[in-house]
Structure 1
Amino acid sequence: MPNRRAVTGRSREPRRRFAQELRQLRSSHKVTLRQLSDRLGWDYSLFAKMEKGETLGGPEVVEALDAFYGTPGLLLALWELALSDKTQFKEQYRRYMQLEAEAVSLWHYAVSVLPGLLQTREYARELLSLGGWTGSELEAQIDARLSRRAILAEPDAPPFRAIISEAVFRTPMANAQEWHAQLCHLLEVGSQSNVTVQVLPFSAGLYRLASTDIWFLRLPEGKTIAYAENEARGELIEQSETVESLQRRYDAVRDQALSPGDSRKFIQCLLEETPCITPT
């Protein structure tokens, strides 16, 4: 049986550590992915994704790998560490998360979905499920997302402004009761003194952030950085000129959005299922 390596050092990044261990064990046993598939019964593509860090797999497949490689409990322990890791994100998003926790103020424009800081558990569940997450990995991702909401509840919570496209509100959840709960949660959080929620109505017409979800974070030293993302990728932007240009676009969108008071009325209309007439 190969010597068991201590779960230290590299395990500061548990997901990467788990994938690395899988690659090293398969290499040392001189088996291909297809041979592994033939021996254990799972499709070879699952093992390929696990070795790339794209998925963690389930406990059954990890236990089978432990038995096959003769490493009783090692892979399962690494799998559990990776599963509980709250920073299972791409590198730029990982750094963004660190900066978000340090920020003294936050601004966000949401073009397609509600920002994570304002999501309920069921909204996050539906959204992440559509992204392909399932089982225990899905639950870990939901917990990681919801843990970020604590930023807004701290005694010294930073001011947070969210401008949300009307399109987000016109795309309800599959479950009407859960959507109702999400809208109520939005009103509740929006009533906090440090949180401002504004709706950008369809009547605003075309605008310069039409296809970009974007965050702005002002850091303690006064510098502002931006993080732009879509369904496929995210980009951390730190170049001053680019950030300033994006901020000007954000300011223009804010000028076109409903006031916080009118935005609250808009959400209440949705809750009451009455026509929401926005100013033109």
Structure 2
Amino acid sequence: MPQRRIVTGRSQEPRQRFAEELRQLRTARGDSLRQLGERMGWDWSLFGKMEKGDTLGGPEVVQALDQYYGTPGLLLALWELAQGDKTQFRERYRLYMGLEAEATSLWHFAVSVLPGLLQTPGYARELLASGGLRGEELEQQVEARISRRELLEGESPPLFRSIISEAVLRSPLLDVGEWRRQLEYLLQVSERRDVIVHVLPLEVGPHGLMNATVMFLRVLDGRTVAYMENGYWGELIEESGPVDRLQRAYDAVRDLALSPAESRKFVLRVLEETPCDPSI
């Protein structure tokens, strides 16, 4: 078999190739590492380490870079290859992440935890730490998750609707001060024109979305796709039949949920019931 011809002249080793692509995209953009850090909201040293191959960073950092450079899915695919056998993102999840970045509207149901788009750093940190992350890796993942909020904070953010089970609001953080800050942020963000928050009371009983979190995306070509996940798996659903059935279940749950105004009052009551931070 003839030896494979090298076309680009770049490294064929996945980790080094990932670092090279990051460096080339940044220099082509004309950004210094410090400028990139300021524009992305991360410590610039993280990007320096990624470009030297010292660290790969987290998936949400890479997704944010894909959005910044206008290379949807490219860097995330290279990141996955660089991870080797340690982490293999499912192809459908990679596709979902690209679709989310381009969605014109999103609607979501939270069965157990607040959606990442509405989390504060303290909430994300305690949640990720409970999954075993520690040290620098934990902080990178927290920063990566919080960066996703930029999706709702740009000049033309997509409409985002989230139905949050009361169970989520009855599962406070161990750090009472951080829990209060999370509730305050939820109240604050729910007042935005492009963000609609509903609370689904426990008293409504069984419903069609009890076993999984689901996110619907309206994408640029007018289609609606759905992404369902629980603690063990996630699946992107594009077929119109299953998506329609999930949409009907979501609509039925929305009919059971409190109105946005009533939901804000509910969150405010939970906040008022929460003890004050003893460190203040």
In the superposition, the TM-score normalised over structure 1's length comes to: 0.70
* Residue equivalent to 1:227: 227
| Equivalenced residues, count | 213
Q: Deviations over 1:82-124 (max 9, x none)?
A: 4564557823333211111100000000000000000000100
* Residue equivalent to 2:156: 156
Distance in 2 between residues matched to 1:120 and 1:219, nearest whole Å: 27
* Residue equivalent to 1:80: 55
Task: List alignment gaps of at least 5 residues for structure 1.
Answer: 16-73, 275-280
* Residue equivalent to 2:26: none
Structure 2 contact 160–195 (Cα < 8 Å) conserved = yes
* Residue equivalent to 1:238: 238
Letter in 1 for 2:215: W
Letter in 2 for 1:77: K
SS in 2 for 1:117: helix
Query: CA 1:81/1:189 → structure 2, altered by over 3 Å: closer, same or farther?
Result: same
Distance in 2 between residues matched to 1:265 and 1:142, nearest whole Å: 29
Quick one: percent identity of the two aligned structures?
50
* Residue equivalent to 1:179: 179
Query: CA 1:268/1:137 → structure 2, altered by over 3 Å: closer, same or farther?
Result: same
* Residue equivalent to 2:132: 132
What do you get for the CA RMSD once the two structures are aligned? Answer: 2.6
Query: CA 1:76/1:160 → structure 2, altered by over 3 Å: closer, same or farther?
Result: closer
In the superposition, the TM-score normalised over structure 2's length comes to: 0.70
SS in 1 for 2:52: helix
Q: Deviations over 1:42-90 (max 9, x none)?
A: xxxxxxxxxxxxxxxxxxxxxxxxxxxxxxxx99932324456455782
* Residue equivalent to 2:261: 261
Distance in 1 between residues matched to 2:127 and 2:105, nearest whole Å: 26
- Aligned pair 1:252/2:243, yes or no? no
Distance in 1 between residues matched to 2:97 and 2:156, nearest whole Å: 18
* Residue equivalent to 1:146: 146
SS in 2 for 1:79: coil
SS in 2 for 1:209: coil
Query: CA 1:136/1:14 → structure 2, altered by over 3 Å: closer, same or farther?
Result: farther
Q: Deviations over 1:239-277 (max 9, x none)?
A: 110000000000000000000000000000011118xxx
Distance in 2 between residues matched to 1:82 and 1:187, nearest whole Å: 31
SS in 2 for 1:236: strand
Distance in 1 between residues matched to 2:272 and 2:17, nearest whole Å: 46
Distance in 1 between residues matched to 2:50 and 2:197, nearest whole Å: 45
Task: List alignment gaps of at least 5 residues for structure 2.
Answer: 1-8, 20-48, 64-75, 81-88, 275-280
Q: Deviations over 1:146-177 (max 9, x none)?
A: 11100111111110000000000000000111
* Residue equivalent to 1:117: 117
Q: Deviations over 1:11-67 (max 9, x none)?
A: 49849xxxxxxxxxxxxxxxxxxxxxxxxxxxxxxxxxxxxxxxxxxxxxxxxxxxx
Letter in 2 for 1:233: W
* Residue equivalent to 2:271: 271
Structure of larger gyration radius: 1
Query: CA 1:80/1:186 → structure 2, altered by over 3 Å: closer, same or farther?
Result: same
Structure 1 contact 14–82 (Cα < 8 Å) conserved = no
Distance in 2 between residues matched to 1:75 and 1:266, nearest whole Å: 43
Distance in 2 between residues matched to 1:171 and 1:219, nearest whole Å: 33
Structure 1 contact 7–78 (Cα < 8 Å) conserved = no
Offset, 1:194:
0.3
Q: Counterparts in 2 of 1:22-41, with a 5 A limit?
A: none
Query: CA 1:133/1:222 → structure 2, altered by over 3 Å: closer, same or farther?
Result: same
